[in-house]
Amino acid sequence: MSYGKAAAERLQNKVVLITGASSGIGFAIAEELAAVNSNIKLILTARSLDKLEKLKQSLEKKYEGIEVLAKKLDVSDVNSIVPFVNQLPKEYADIDILVNNAGLALGRDEVGEINPTDIETMFQTNVLGLITMTQAVLPRMKERNTGFILGLGSIASRDGYPGGSIYCATKASVRSFFQSLSKELISTKVRCSLLEPGMVRTNFSMTRFRNDQQKEADTYKGGEPLNAVDIAEIAAFILTRRENTVIAETLVFPTNQASSAHIYRSE
């Protein structure tokens, strides 16, 4: 995607922390921001350090001037988040942009049949991990009176569907959290924004269905979902607006979708 010079310059020398950056939307956002302005510092976190290191090497080879720190972090382990942030190298300590991307869905079981471990994992990752990361980063943003917190939500926050009760509940929690956060920040120059995609084909459904390829394929059958790059382009647009501009919430669908329950299928 092409960005104007002024928009690209707004990323100049920024320190950007992205959770869940080893694949999918987080991976694509790292690539997109580097393409917009390579004079940035990226902190890439996820559970898979090997994948992060490969992304780091690819970015450093492709973009002159970029600085990349790849660090293992599982945001579901909320007690590890504050120490992680506090132990960042000095040159990465003042985070300008936090992209709360890490999240997952597990299973499509209905209420009464849901594995308690799946419930805990989804809330720990999607809600408590996001909140704890935000709390760890926000005070220094407030001290400097600048910064941007971007959350990756979902249409599921607004429109529950059968078999999605826990995932939908986690994303509704994220949406409420950001609505409150935005009101708390209006007297500062720290901004926050929530990006809520509809159907996006990444490794999301493979994780949800525990690598069942048929169930993953059936999820997207008869339509054309968005992909990670589609969301990354929108994220980069949000993050490169002037400091007096906040795109508070963004809801984005593929053309064959109008809600989580209304998906046009061609067959």
Predicted confidence (pLDDT) at residue 1 exceeds the cutoff of 70? no
The whole-angstrom separation of Cα 239 and Cα 253 is 20
The CA–CA distances, whole Å, from 89 to 14, 45, 103, 135, 219 equal 15, 14, 26, 19, 42
Q: How many residues does the chain have?
A: 267
Confidence (pLDDT) at 220: 83
Predicted confidence (pLDDT) at residue 267 exceeds the cutoff of 60? no
Provide the annotated active-site residues.
167, 171
Mean pLDDT of 19-36: 97
Quick one: DSSP state of residue 79?
G
Confidence (pLDDT) at 264: 62
The whole-angstrom separation of Cα 18 and Cα 67 is 14
Segment 161-196, tens digit of pLDDT: 999 999 999 999 999 999 999 999 999 999 999 999
265 Cα distance to chain centroid? 27
Amino acid at 31: E
Of 11-20, 42-51, 216-225, minimum mean pLDDT range: 216-225
The whole-angstrom separation of Cα 21 and Cα 31 is 10
Cβ distance 137 to 85 under 8 Å? yes
The whole-angstrom separation of Cα 255 and Cα 267 is 16
The whole-angstrom separation of Cα 104 and Cα 31 is 21
Predicted confidence (pLDDT) at residue 210 exceeds the cutoff of 60? yes
Confidence (pLDDT) at 102: 97
Confidence (pLDDT) at 2: 59
DSSP lists the bridge partners of residue 44 as 18, 70
Segment 106-160, tens digit of pLDDT: 999 999 999 999 999 999 999 999 999 999 999 999 999 999 999 999 999 999 9
Q: How many helices (H) and strands (E) does the chain have?
A: 10, 9
